[in-house]
Amino acid sequence: MNPLLSPFTTPYTSAPFSKIKNEHFKPAIEKAIISAKKEIDVLVANKATPTYKNTIESLEFVGMQMKRVTSIFFNLNSAETNDTIQKIAQEVSPLLSEFANDIRLNQQLFERVKEIYTQKDSLDLSTEQKTLLSNQYKMFVRNGANLSATDKEKLRSIDKQASKLSLQFGENILAETNAFELHITDENQLKGLPDGAKEAAQLTAKQKEKEGWLFTLDYPSYVPFMTYIDDRSLREQMAKAFGARSFQENEFDNQQIVLDIVKLRHQRANLLGYNTHADFVLEERMAEKPEKVLSFLNDLLLKAKPAALREFKQLSEFSQKDGIEILQKWDGSYYAEKLKKELFDFDEEALKPYFKLENVLNGVFTIAHKLYNLNFEEINDIDKYHQDVKTYKVTDSKGNLVAVFYADFFPREGKRNGAWMTSYKDQWIQDGENSRPHISIVCNFTKPTESKPSLLTFNEVTTLFHEFGHALHGMLANTTYPSLSGTSVHWDFVELPSQVLENWCYEKEALDLFARHYKTEAQIPMELVQKIKDASTFLEGTATMRQLSFGILDMNWHSGESPENILSVKGFESAVFADTQLYPDVAENCMSTAFSHIFQGGYSSGYYSYKWAEVLDADAFEYFKEAGIFNQVVADKFKENILSKGGTDKPMALYKKFRGKEPNANALLKRAGLLK
């Protein structure tokens, strides 16, 4: 029996991971596609006059089994993949693209939706219903419903190719990341590295049956190495390996894939009547136009660049006492850490004992309870896809189920780098039943060693809070329709709940709830809290310019009118970076070939949204601070107007209901220390 082909009888209808085998996925997806197609056929064959209920709502709930199976599959492809899963992904992605196009290019279905759309002003619809209707109509139009038969076939072909290329892009980076190891047997080469990072490297070596210490390009290994190792040549070796991922003219090279993806996206946009891919994407964003995004990025760049140049000069001069003539990329984190320590008497390592992973997790649970009356109880009666995963039942103050929550914190070979939030099941309301979501956060933190628990850097603490902010957006979803639920919002709005929660990490009132020494249980000293705050704007100009450079690179890849004229990925990237470059270029390295956000992860023409959302989050948190960071009235307004509403209304309308006015960028500039 294929467990994916029948309704789940598990607690909370959770995914039955222990029963699912790799060979179950492809047949389940194929059958789910056939079943969804039949649902579409029934919908189209309905002789009754098209109504909102028999067309728009029916279409919304088509293929629910397929959505469930594919969410499980593609989540595993990111968090617990292997060669077989990757091969299946390559096989099923074109099938899913084909199915999506079967819907989007179904003329009879489009005519039914169009008939209701043309009557929208005379129908008595709620805001959420109007949004769903508008989204469905645009889904057809933005995916070729008005194209000729020939152009529809062209679109199908483009989508199929682009889908496969994006998958290949991600697989190549994972392969390159896994292929690199720096094996060290002489402890003298590890001078400067903290004991915790040393122990973790020893554990990695032991797991690979090697003597000494093993370092990889996974962030928990790479970041401490680049921050603390005194041996400059080793830092250079690691940095060059990291920057060369999928830029080595081998079987995992992404250069041609980048060029092909960009060309396909441009062709697709042109086919649909848009000048560029960015024009197409931004039509459905708060920013609306490429010109507005570029203006936003350049305006911030104008304010951040003078600070960044001053900071880089300061860092360069600081490194000269070690005889560094030219500060290189592999020197940045190392000397930044040393300078921060000198200026603020601030040592990241001194903070780590106060941030035991379990304590930080309990802390974020406590904050969620204080703000939103949520309770988290660890449960062991549902399946996990890996033994490291923790599972929780989330309930409200009355004991009602709010969500199922999965937390997956440590690096593994089959897990991609970085941190993300996702869902195994969306939230929706149907036939009077509110079906609750299953939410997951996935991170890559340092594993516990034989002598120490997992102790987080402060940066990792903010990462956990960030992803948990996304998780709250998913958990507290309370909409009728799954496609408008939770994080299904405009991309330049989706980072608001995640980024706003990071602010609590800097507040004593919040830190007191969880920042305790893992050995003594002593509360984090006030002077350390003050140092966190003092150091929070350290090199902020540089960090801002780095983020802006990524956003500008993304926009240049996708808002140019002739991508077919780009012959060199590296050459194009170097020209774009000219205005934001601080460090000398490294010929063997390329950012674009490993820029997963825009070539694999859905952020194309959207990377700017991190900064855009920072404006929103700084303004929103200012409101919390004015009233008190645990003020129930403000928290209720945020929950009611932002977290529970998903994409049911325009983001600015939701924000103004919460805040009472549009956001002000000055709050961000002030927080970043770029506005005195």
pLDDT of 589 > 70? The answer is yes
Q: Which of 337, 467, 495, 507 is catalytic?
A: 467
The model's confidence at residue 666, banded by pLDDT at 50, 70 and 90, is: confident
Q: What is the spatial distance between Cα 57 and Cα 55, in angstroms, rounded to a whole number?
A: 6
pLDDT of 672 > 90? The answer is no
Q: What is the spatial distance between Cα 486 and Cα 334, in angstroms, rounded to a whole number?
A: 39
Q: What is the spatial distance between Cα 213 and Cα 219, in angstroms, rounded to a whole number?
A: 16
How many degrees, rounded to 5, is the angle at CA 391 between CA 386 and CA 392? 175
Looking at residue 669, its pLDDT comes to: 84
pLDDT of 676 > 70? The answer is no
Token pair belonging to 665:
């960028």
Segment 268-307, tens digit of pLDDT: 999 999 999 999 999 999 999 999 999 999 999 998 999 9
DSSP readout, 84-143?
A: HHHHHHHHHHHHHHHHHHHHHT-HHHHHHHHHHHHTGGGS---HHHHHHHHHHHHHHHTT
pLDDT of 526 > 70? The answer is yes
Contact 158, 277 (CB under 8 A): no
3-state secondary structure of 649: coil
Contact 615, 667 (CB under 8 A): yes
Looking at residue 675, its pLDDT comes to: 74
pLDDT of 121 > 90? The answer is yes
Environment class of residue 164 by beta-carbon count within 10 Å: exposed (0-12), middle (13-18) or buried (19+)? middle
CA 295 to chain centre: 24
Segment 316-338, tens digit of pLDDT: 999 999 999 999 999 999 999 99
pLDDT of 668 > 90? The answer is no
Q: Could you tell me what percent of the chain has a pLDDT over 90?
A: 89
Element (DSSP H or E) covering residue 392 = strand 390-395
State the average pLDDT over residues 594-615: 92
Token pair belonging to 452:
């120490």
Contact 33, 95 (CB under 8 A): yes
Positive or negative: CA dihedral 77, 81, 83, 84: negative
Q: What is the spatial distance between Cα 572 and Cα 540, in angstroms, rounded to a whole number?
A: 27
Residue spans of the domains in the chain: they are: 11-146, 180-243
Tokens 């968090």 locate to 79
Looking at residue 529, its pLDDT comes to: 84
Reference 177, options 236, 111, 238, 260; nearest CA is 238
Q: What is the spatial distance between Cα 470 and Cα 503, in angstroms, rounded to a whole number?
A: 14
Q: Domain 11-146: which topology?
A: Glutathione S-transferase Yfyf (Class Pi); Chain A, domain 2 (1.20.1050)
Q: What is the DSSP letter of 398?
A: T
Number of neighbouring beta carbons within 10 Å of residue 506 = 17
Q: Can you give the pTM of this predicted structure? A: 0.82
Amino acid identity of residue 618, one-letter, is A
State the average pLDDT over residues 94-104: 90
State the average pLDDT over residues 551-562: 95
Looking at residue 184, its pLDDT comes to: 98
State the average pLDDT over residues 537-551: 95
Q: What is the spatial distance between Cα 363 and Cα 577, in angstroms, rounded to a whole number?
A: 40
CA dihedral 353, 441, 177, 340 (to 10 degrees): -40
Please give the mean pLDDT across all residues of the chain. 95
State the average pLDDT over residues 337-364: 93
Looking at residue 491, its pLDDT comes to: 83
State the average pLDDT over residues 367-391: 97
257 to 176, 253, 592: CA distances (angstroms): 15, 8, 10
Token pair belonging to 568:
């060199």
Active site (annotated) includes residue 283 = no
Contact 265, 273 (CB under 8 A): no
Q: What is the DSSP letter of 17?
A: G
Segment 168-196, tens digit of pLDDT: 999 999 999 999 999 999 999 999 999 98
Reference 70, options 39, 31, 38; nearest CA is 31
More confident residue, 470 or 528: 470
Q: What is the spatial distance between Cα 35 and Cα 68, in angstroms, rounded to a whole number?
A: 13
Of 9-13, 112-116, 426-430, 608-612, where does mean pLDDT reach its minimum?
608-612
pLDDT of 62 > 70? The answer is yes
Contact 274, 142 (CB under 8 A): no
CA 108 to chain centre: 36
pLDDT of 347 > 70? The answer is yes
